[in-house]
Structure 1
Amino acid sequence: MIVGLVVACEVAFWVLLAAGLAFRYALRMPRTGMALLLCEPLLEVVLFTVTAIDLRNGAEPDWRHGLAAVYIGFTVGLGHSTVTWADARVAHRFAGGPPPVKPPRYGWARAVHEAKVAARWILSAAVALALLQSAVWYVGDGGDTTSLRAWQTRMLWVIVVNLVVAASYALFPKKEPRDPGARDRADRAVAQPADSETGTGRSARS
Structure 2
Amino acid sequence: MISDWKSSRLPVKHLGNWDEAARCFQNALTIAQKQESKRSIASSNGLLGDIERNRGNWDAAETLYQQALELMTELGDRSGMANSWGVLGDIERNRGNWDAAQTLYRQSLTLRTELGDRSGMAESYSGLGKNECDRGNLEAVEQFSKQALVMAQELGITHLVAVGGNLKSCALPNTSGRGESRIFARGLM
Q: Structure 1 length as normaliser, TM-score? A: 0.35
Structure scoring higher RCO (CA < 8 A, sep ≥ 6) equals: 1
Say which one has the larger Rg. Answer: 1
The structure in which a higher percent of residues are strand is 2
Q: Structure 2 length as normaliser, TM-score? A: 0.37
